[in-house]
C-alpha cells in the first residue's frame, strides 16, 4: 500500500490526518469546512448511532425531526444563546437561482429574497421550544422526552476532520419537565448514558464533571460533560448535557398548568454528542500502523485471510476458510472472508491493520493439515497458533479481551496523566512537558480562568462530579480555594 | 378526544390534513414549508428506514455522507440538471450574524459574504460526482455502490405535509459503473427493491414503469418509477430509479482506465425514496376513524386495554394483562399495555383506532373468569372473543392476515381503477367521474402529452415495464401508437 507513514511520536496532528485519510474514514470536500464521511467511517458512526439510540429509547426517549432552518428572529429571543452562535451561522437569504440574461451564467435571483433570513441550525433549542409551546398545556403533557438525529452547521474557519467541521452529524436531546429537580435528574441521567457508552463501547475512559460558567453552553444554567484524554495528552470534550433552567421556556413563553391549577414555566434540558466521537475513538487507541478499533464498534470484527500458492492448496484452504466464516457468522460475529486472489496475504494484512480490524485469522495448507489457524490481534500485535477446536468461543473470548484491554490501556494512560500540582511553576511545567490533566486549586473566578488560558492555553475542562473538597490556595492567584479542578489543553 | 371528524368521502384533502394532525404524525413548523415530524410519525419512518436500509445492504450498498451544501458553480455543470432545480433552491450567501450598532437588532453581517454562494442540496448528484472523480481511477475501483440518508431542500410554494414540503428526509443512492449494461441492471434492481418494499411492507401495490422524457429526472437518460394509486383515485409517484448514462461523469470529468488500458467515462445511476412514502401509506389504507397501519410498519402492533371497575377487579385483570403483554413481547411482537387509570376504555379505544394500531386486545373481569380476551382488528373493525389458549400464535397469525388483507384491498381497488379507453370523450369521462389510471394509446410525442395535461391535468404516470405491445391510435391525436400508457391525475 502506498501510504506515507507518519509516526505519532513525530507529528501527532499529521499522523491523525494521514490515518483518517488512508483508513478511508473521511476526507475534505469541495465545500470549505464540510467533510465527506466515507463508507468505512460511516459504518463505524452507524454502530455508534445504534448503540446510543438503543440507550435513549431504553431511558424513555423518542425520536422526532425538526426543521433544518431557524428564522433569524428566533435567535434573538434568548440573549446568551444568540451571543454564542451568531458568529458562526450559515444564512439563507434567497430561494431561487436564475440564468443571467447577459452573461448566461447561473446567478442568485434578486427577486427571490426572503422576507426574513433563515439560519441553518447550529443547534435546535429555539425552533424546538417554539414548537413545544403548542405541545404543552398541562402537567399531563410533561415530561416531553425527545431526541433528534440531524446535521448541524457552525461556520468554522479552522477545520479538522471529525473534530471541528462546519457541518457535522449529531444527536440532540431536548426534554421538557414540570420541575427543576426532574430536569436536573434528566441532565445527569443522560451524562451517565454518555459515560456508559464512551467507556463500554468506545473503550474510552471519561471524567464526568461540570463546566465552569465560562465554558457553559450558550443559554444553559449548568453544563455537564464527559472529558476524554487523547494519546497526545490533550483533552477532548466528548459529550455535554445541559440543564437549561427556564431560559428557553421564558424566551418562547412555554407554560403549563400545574396540578394545583397555577401556571408555571417549563424546565428544560438538552444534550448531544456528535461525529466528534469519531475523533475521540481514533485518537484514543490507534497507532503507527493505523486505526485500532474496539470490537464492539468494529464494522469487521474478524477477517479471515486464506493463504495458498498452488491450485490444489486453494480448494483445501478455502473449504476450511468457508467453514470458519460460516461458524463465526452464525455466532453473530461480524466476519469477513477476504478471498481476493489478486492481492497477496501481506497486502491484506497491512490493509486490515490500517483499518483496525481487531482479529485476523490466517489459514494456510499446513494449518489445514494440523487443524490450526494463526490468530493475530490488532491491539497488541500478538500472534498465536490456535487449535480449531472450539474456535468460535475462543474468538468471542478474544474479542472481549481486546475490548477490555483497550479500555484498560487508555485508563492507565489517563491515570498516569492526571497530575496534582500546587505551584504555578509546576502547573506550567506539567502542562508543557508531561501534558494531560493538571489537577489544581482555583479561586473560582472567571478572571483567573481567563488569565490561565491566555498564559498557557489550558482551560478548565471540568469540576469533576463528587469532587473531593479540600482547603487550598489557587495555583495562579493564591486566593483561597475549596477544591481542585481539572485543567488541560484541549481540542 | 376532541377531534373534528372529517369524512374521506366529503373532502379527501381536509380528511388527510386532519388525520396527519390528530394521529400525531406531523405538523407545519414556524418555518414556511418545513414540517415537524412528530414522534409517532417518526417511529413509522424509522421502521421504513430500517427495512429499506437492510435491503440496500443486502444488495451490496454501503452508506456514506456528503455535504449539505453544494457550490453554485457545480450546478451549472450539467445543463438539464440546473434547469430542473434552479427555481427551487435555498441559497446560503453569508456565514455570520452580528448586532446592528444602531438598532441593537440581530442582522446579517455584510462583511461575511461568501465568495461563492452555496446551495442547500436539493439532490446530491453534483457534489457526489465531483467527489467520485478522486475515487475512481481504474476498473478495479468500480462499481461504487453508495447510499446516503439525508435531508434535502426544494423550495416549494404550495406545501402539503409529507407529500410536498420544502425540506424533506430521504435516501439517495449514487452508483458508478464500468458499463451501461451494469448501470441499467442496477437501476432496475433498485426499482425492484422499492417495489418489494412498497408491496410487502407498506402493503401498497405499485406499477413499475418508465417515465416519458417529459417526466424524467433532470439529468437522466431514463427514469424508472413505482406508481401507487391513492383512495381518491389519484396516483402518487412513490420512488424513482434513474439511469444517468455518462452525463454526470462528463460534467465532472470522471473517467476510468479499462482492463484494455483505454480511458472511458463512468456510467451512473441514482435512486431515491422520501418521507413522501408516509403520505402514500396514509392515503392507501386509512379511514374515517383515523390511521390504518400495516402490522409490519406499526410502531405498536398490539395494544392491550385492561377493563375494570372495582379495585378487586383491577388486580385480577392486570395480572392477566401483564402475562399476555410478557408473552407477546417475548414473541417479538411490538406490544403496548395501556394501564392508565385516568382514561376510560372507550377513550383508549378511540385513540388507538386513530393511531392505526392493527390489533386491540381488551380484557375484563369476565374474560379472566372465562379464559378469553376480546380481540378487535383495526382494518375490518371486526371483534371476536378469543380463547386464551395459544394466544400468541393466534395474534401472530392475525397480524399476518391484516397485512395481507390491506394489500389485497388496495390491490382490488387499483385493479378496479385501471380503465382502458379508446376515445377522447371516454378518457375525459373516466378521469373525471371514475378516476384512477386510464390506460390509453398515445402517439409518443411530448406535444400530445403536454396538451392532454393542459386539458385534463392528467399526466403520463408511466409506460409499464413489460408492456403489452398492440397496434392502436392515440386517444388524443388519432395518430398511430404501438402501446397503451397509464395516465392519471397525480399528487
Query: Is the Cβ–Cβ distance between A44 and A297 less than 8 Å?
Result: yes
Q: Which residues, 6+ apart, have CB-to-CB distance to A364 below 8 Å?
A: A306, A307, A308, A313, A317, A374
Substitution target in A37, A39, A77, A131 with the highest count of B β-carbons within 10 Å is A39
Confidence of residue A338 (pLDDT cuts 50, 70, 90): very high
**Is residue B98 situated within a structural domain?**
no
pLDDT at A104: 86
Q: How far is the C-alpha of A346 from the C-alpha of A106, rounded, in Å?
A: 51
The answer on pLDDT for A3 being more than 70 is no
Substitution target in A24, A95, A351 with the highest count of B β-carbons within 10 Å is A95
Which of A285, A311, A341 is where one domain is finished?
A: A285
Kindly determine whether residue B92 and residue A88, on different chains, have CB atoms separated by under 8 Å.
no
User: Residue B34: closest CA among chain A residues belongs to which residue?
Assistant: A67
Closest CB to B66 among A36, A66, A73: A36
Instruction: Assess whether A281 and A309 both reside in one domain.
Output: no
pLDDT at A81: 82
Query: Is the Cβ–Cβ distance between A209 and A486 less than 8 Å?
Result: yes
Instruction: Assess whether B312 and B265 both reside in one domain.
Output: no
The bridge status of strand A359-363 relative to strand A235-245 is: unpaired
**Is residue B62 situated within a structural domain?**
yes
- Concatenating the DSSP letter of every residue in B382-415 gives -EEEEESTTHHHHHHHHHHHHHHHHHHHHHHHHH
pLDDT at B82: 82
Instruction: Assess whether A49 and A178 both reside in one domain.
Output: yes
pLDDT at A78: 82
In chain B, % of residues over pLDDT 70: 99
Instruction: Assess whether B337 and B237 both reside in one domain.
Output: no
pLDDT at A4: 62
Q: Is B140 helix (H, G, I), strand (E, B) or coil?
A: helix
Confidence of residue B2 (pLDDT cuts 50, 70, 90): very low
Assess A343–B contact: CB distance below 8 Å, yes or no: no
Q: How far is the C-alpha of A333 from the C-alpha of A324, rounded, in Å?
A: 11
Give per-residue pLDDT as tens, B57-111.
Answer: 999 999 999 999 999 999 888 878 888 898 999 999 999 999 988 988 899 999 9
User: Is the omega angle on the peptide bond into residue A143 within 30 degrees of 0, that is, cis?
Assistant: yes
Instruction: Assess whether B212 and B337 both reside in one domain.
Output: no
Assess A62–B contact: CB distance below 8 Å, yes or no: yes
Kindly determine whether residue B42 and residue A62, on different chains, have CB atoms separated by under 8 Å.
yes
Closest CB to B95 among A117, A130, A155: A155
Which of A224, A251, A285 is where one domain is finished?
A: A285
**Is residue B411 situated within a structural domain?**
no
Closest chain B C-alpha to A470 CA, distance in angstroms: 44
Which of A236, A259, A285 is where one domain is finished?
A: A285
In chain A, % of residues over pLDDT 70: 99
The CATH number linked to A59 is: 3.30.930.10
The answer on pLDDT for A144 being more than 50 is yes
**Is residue A85 situated within a structural domain?**
no
The answer on pLDDT for A318 being more than 90 is yes
Instruction: Assess whether B189 and B258 both reside in one domain.
Output: yes
- Residue numbers of the domain that contains A392: 302-399
pLDDT at B1: 42
Instruction: Assess whether A343 and A268 both reside in one domain.
Output: no
- On whether the pTM is more than 0.90, the answer is yes
pLDDT at B311: 85
Which whole number is the average pLDDT over A386-400? 97
Arithmetic mean of pLDDT over chain B: 96
Confidence of residue A157 (pLDDT cuts 50, 70, 90): confident
The answer on pLDDT for B158 being more than 90 is no
**Is residue A6 situated within a structural domain?**
no
Give per-residue pLDDT as tens, A319-328.
Answer: 999 999 999 9
Assess A145–B contact: CB distance below 8 Å, yes or no: no
Q: In chain A, which residues have their Cβ closer than 8 Å to the Cβ of B80?
A: none
The answer on pLDDT for B271 being more than 80 is yes
Kindly determine whether residue B127 and residue A69, on different chains, have CB atoms separated by under 8 Å.
no
Instruction: Assess whether B251 and B142 both reside in one domain.
Output: yes
Instruction: Assess whether A429 and A324 both reside in one domain.
Output: no
Cell output for A477: 492567584
Instruction: Assess whether B228 and B195 both reside in one domain.
Output: yes
Substitution target in B49, B72, B91, B99 with the highest count of A β-carbons within 10 Å is B91
**Is residue A97 situated within a structural domain?**
no
**Is residue A410 situated within a structural domain?**
no
The answer on pLDDT for A2 being more than 50 is no
The answer on pLDDT for B4 being more than 70 is no
CB neighbourhood size of B389 (10 A):
9
Confidence of residue A360 (pLDDT cuts 50, 70, 90): very high
Q: In chain B, which residues have their Cβ closer than 8 Å to the Cβ of A63?
A: 39, 42-43, 46
The CATH number linked to A314 is: 3.40.50.800
Instruction: Assess whether B273 and B390 both reside in one domain.
Output: no
**Is residue A129 situated within a structural domain?**
yes
Which whole number is the average pLDDT over B4-24? 92
The CATH number linked to B436 is: 3.30.110.30
Instruction: Assess whether B466 and B357 both reside in one domain.
Output: no
pLDDT at A101: 87
pLDDT at A75: 87
pLDDT at A251: 96
Which whole number is the average pLDDT over A81-95? 92
Which whole number is the average pLDDT over A263-277? 98
Give per-residue pLDDT as tens, A431-484.
Answer: 999 999 999 999 999 999 999 999 999 999 999 998 999 999 999 999 999 999
Length of chain B, in residues: 491
- Count structural domains, chain A: 3
Confidence of residue A1 (pLDDT cuts 50, 70, 90): very low
Amino acid at each position: 500500500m502506498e501510504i506515507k507513514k507518519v509516526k505519532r511520536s513525530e507529528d501527532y496532528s499529521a499522523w491523525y490526518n494521514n490515518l483518517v485519510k488512508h483508513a478511508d474514514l473521511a476526507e475534505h470536500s469541495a465545500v470549505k469546512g464540510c467533510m465527506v464521511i466515507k463508507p468505512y467511517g460511516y459504518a463505524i458512526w452507524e454502530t455508534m448511532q445504534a448503540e446510543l439510540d438503543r440507550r435513549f429509547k431504553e431511558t424513555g426517549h423518542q425520536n422526532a425531526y425538526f426543521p433544518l432552518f431557524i428564522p433569524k428572529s428566533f435567535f434573538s429571543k434568548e440573549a446568551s444563546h444568540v451571543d454564542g452562535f451568531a458568529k458562526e451561522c450559515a444564512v439563507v437569504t434567497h430561494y431561487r437561482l436564475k440564468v443571467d440574461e447577459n452573461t448566461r451564467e447561473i446567478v442568485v435571483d434578486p427577486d427571490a429574497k426572503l422576507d426574513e433570513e433563515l439560519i441553518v441550525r447550529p443547534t435546535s433549542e429555539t425552533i424546538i421550544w417554539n414548537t413545544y409551546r403548542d405541545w404543552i398545556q398541562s402537567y399531563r403533557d410533561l415530561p416531553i422526552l425527545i431526541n433528534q438525529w440531524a446535521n448541524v452547521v457552525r461556520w468554522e474557519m479552522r477545520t479538522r476532520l471529525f473534530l471541528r467541521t462546519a457541518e457535522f452529524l449529531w444527536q440532540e436531546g431536548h426534554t421538557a419537565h414540570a420541575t427543576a429537580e426532574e430536569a436536573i435528574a434528566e441532565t445527569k441521567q443522560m451524562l451517565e448514558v454518555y459515560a456508559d457508552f464512551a467507556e463500554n463501547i468506545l473503550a474510552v475512559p471519561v471524567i464526568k464533571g461540570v463546566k465552569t460558567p465560562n465554558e457553559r453552553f450558550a443559554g444553559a444554567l449548568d453544563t455537564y460533560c464527559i472529558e476524554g484524554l487523547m494519546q497526545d495528552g490533550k483533552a477532548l470534550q466528548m459529550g455535554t448535557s445541559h440543564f437549561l433552567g427556564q431560559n428557553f421556556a421564558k424566551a418562547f413563553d412555554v407554560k403549563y398548568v400545574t396540578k394545583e391549577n397555577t401556571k408555571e414555566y417549563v424546565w428544560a434540558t438538552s444534550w448531544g454528542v456528535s461525529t466528534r466521537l469519531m475523533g475521540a475513538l481514533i485518537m484514543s487507541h490507534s497507532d503507527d500502523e493505523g486505526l485500532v478499533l474496539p470490537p464492539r464498534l468494529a464494522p469487521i470484527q474478524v477477517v479471515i485471510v486464506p493463504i495458498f500458492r498452488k491450485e490444489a492448496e486453494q480448494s483445501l484452504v478455502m473449504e476450511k476458510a468457508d467453514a470458519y466464516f460460516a461458524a463465526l457468522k452464525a455466532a453473530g460475529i461480524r466476519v469477513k472472508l477476504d478471498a481476493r486472489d489478486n492481492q497477496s496475504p501481506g497486502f491484506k494484512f497491512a490493509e486490515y491493520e490500517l483499518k483496525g480490524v481487531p482479529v485476523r485469522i490466517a489459514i494456510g495448507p499446513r494449518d489445514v493439515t494440523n487443524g490450526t489457524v494463526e490468530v493475530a490481534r490488532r491491539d497488541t500485535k500478538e500472534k498465536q497458533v490456535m487449535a480449531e477446536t472450539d474456535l468460535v468461543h475462543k474468538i468471542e473470548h478474544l474479542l472481549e479481551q481486546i475490548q477490555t484491554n483497550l479500555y484498560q490501556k487508555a485508563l492507565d494512560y489517563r491515570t498516569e496523566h492526571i497530575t496534582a500540582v500546587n505551584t504555578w511553576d509546576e502547573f506550567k511545567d506539567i502542562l508543557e512537558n508531561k501534558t494531560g490533566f493538571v489537577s489544581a486549586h482555583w479561586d473560582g473566578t472567571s478572571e483567573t480562568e481567563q488569565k490561565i488560558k491566555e498564559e498557557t492555553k489550558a482551560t478548565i475542562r471540568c469540576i469533576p462530579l463528587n469532587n473531593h473538597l479540600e482547603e487550598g490556595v489557587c495555583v495562579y492567584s493564591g486566593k483561597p480555594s475549596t477544591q481542585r479542578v481539572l485543567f488541560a489543553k484541549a481540542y
